[in-house]
Amino acid sequence: MTTIADELTIERRGHAGSAARRRTNFVIFLGPAIVLTVLFFVVPVIIDIAVSFTDLSRSLRISEFTTEQYEKVFRTDRRLSQVIGLTFIYVFGTLAIFNVTFGLILAITTTAIRNVSGSFFRGVWLLPRMSPSVLYILLWLWAVSPTEAGLVNQVLMQAFGLDAPLDLLTSAPIALIIISNGFIGASMGMIIFTAAIRGIPEHLFHAAAVDGAGTFAKIRFITLPALRWPISFVTIYQTLSLLVSFEYILLLTKGGPFYDTTVYALYVYRRAFESGQYAYGAALALFLIVIGVVVALIGWRFFDMERLLQRPRIEVH
């Protein structure tokens, strides 16, 4: 026969046991993620902040702690406003035209046709993502070469009778970096949207067909509402990716001609590593981190991600 005191002791032990289990589970399941986040995100940010308050330059020596780099950012760097404007055009253009819209079109069209053909076309669109960056850009350089040997010029001159070859690298460099990045970025949206479309119960489309809905009506009233969460995710994720990525731009246009395709992340790279102004590059990079966090928070709020993350939106009950 147990007393009330005994029962309380057992209950406490149970609570203590589950608390210990919770702590163990926390360490096992979240510990590695937390350690990695601290090591690869928090620590670099702290180092970046520390370096931005020094005069670290070409020979990696620090002779003083100073706010000089921030004075440069705010007072003397006349190139920054142009770079920020260009970054906005690049990110917004790539995202709106390719990563979301084109990705969506590809997902809808490749799921609307026969499965084998759809998979084939999706495979084709994934090829650039699977090939090395350098190879992908080499093909672009050949395609837009400003001579008669360039693919685009061959087509324009032979099929459309153009007199002289076009030089797109000089005349339309921003369009080129948007298109070259977009072709890669569209494939990610395509995969995520395709998975989401496949998750929509088939009977909804049949019911809509019975009600007399056409293709566009089905897309508008069934597909797009079900894709709200994936679209929000792709938009926020790709915005952050585009803000910090510049390898294709560096390989294709080297940020030029002049500064015409030098986006913010590339500008930081050029200042830090091509000129050896590491402390100034760190100060500029800090603003990129701040911009990224702000963009993520705005996106979170704008798309009401908190509500979307609570439970799946695709399933219909």
Partner 1 sequence: MIHWKIGTAALLSAVLAGGSAAFLAATPLFAQETVKLELWSRQDPSGPLRPGNVIKAAERLNKELETEGSSKRVEVAVRESPAKGFDDDALQLLKVFGIGEGPDIFIAAHEWICAFQEDGFVLKLDDYIAKYPQHFGTIFPSLWSSAKCPDGTYAIPQDAEARMFFYNKKLLREAGYDAAFVDAMPERALSGDLTMDEVLDIAKQVVDKTKAQYGVLHRPNKGPDYIMVFQAYGSNFVDPETGNLLLERDKLAAAFGWFERGVKEGVIPANNTAMEFDALRKEFYTGNAAFWMYGIWDLGSVAFPTYGLPQDEKAFFADWGWIAGPAPQKGGSPVSLTHPIVYAIAADTKEPELVVRLLGHASAADLNTDHAVTTTHLGIKPEQLEDPRYAKAWPLARATELLKITKFLPNNSHFGELNGIIYAGIQGIESGRLSAQEAADFVIGEASSSLEDVIVK
User: In b/e form, how buried is each residue of 131-166, taking b as 16+ CB within 10 angstroms?
Assistant: eeeeebbeebeebbbbeeebebbeebbeeeeeeebb
CB of 190 closer than 8 Å to CB of 305: no
* 67 binds partner 1 per the rule CB under 8 A: no
Closest to partner 1 by CB, 65 or 302: 65
What residues are paired with 54 via a beta bridge? 65
Closest to partner 1 by CB, 107 or 176: 176
Give the residue, chosen from 1, 4, 28, 60, that forms a contact with partner 1 under the rule CB under 8 A.
Answer: 60
Query: How many residues bind partner 1, per CB under 8 A?
Result: 26
Closest to partner 1 by CB, 25 or 171: 171
* 68 binds partner 1 per the rule CB under 8 A: no
From the CB of 137, what's the least distance to partner 1, in Å? 13
* 135 binds partner 1 per the rule CB under 8 A: no
* 274 binds partner 1 per the rule CB under 8 A: yes
DSSP 18-80: HHHHHHHHIIIIIHHHHHHHIIIIIHHHHHHHHHHTB---TT-----B-SHHHHIIIII-TTH
Residues 6 or more apart whose CB falls under 8 angstroms from that of 229 comprise: 196, 308, 313, 314
How far apart CA 174 and CA 168 sit, in angstroms, is 10
Per-residue binder mask for partner 1 (CB under 8 A), 231-260, x = binder: ----------------------x--xxxxx
CB of 93 closer than 8 Å to CB of 179: no
Residues 278-297 that bind partner 1 (CB under 8 A): 280
Q: Which two tokens stand for residue 296?
A: 């993520």
Q: Which two tokens stand for residue 224?
A: 């797009």
From the CB of 59, what's the least distance to partner 1, in Å? 4
* 54 binds partner 1 per the rule CB under 8 A: no
From the CB of 56, what's the least distance to partner 1, in Å? 9
Q: Residue 283: which of 46, 66, 73, 17 has the closest Cα?
A: 73
Closest to partner 1 by CB, 223 or 261: 261
* 311 binds partner 1 per the rule CB under 8 A: no
Give the residue, chosen from 49, 70, 72, 126, that forms a contact with partner 1 under the rule CB under 8 A.
Answer: 72
* 81 binds partner 1 per the rule CB under 8 A: no
Per-residue binder mask for partner 1 (CB under 8 A), 156-175, x = binder: -----------x-xx-----
Closest to partner 1 by CB, 229 or 278: 278
CB of 260 closer than 8 Å to CB of 173: yes
How far apart CA 227 and CA 26 sit, in angstroms, is 32
Contacting residues toward partner 1, per CB under 8 A: 58-61, 72, 76-79, 146-147, 167, 169-170, 253, 256-260, 273-277, 280
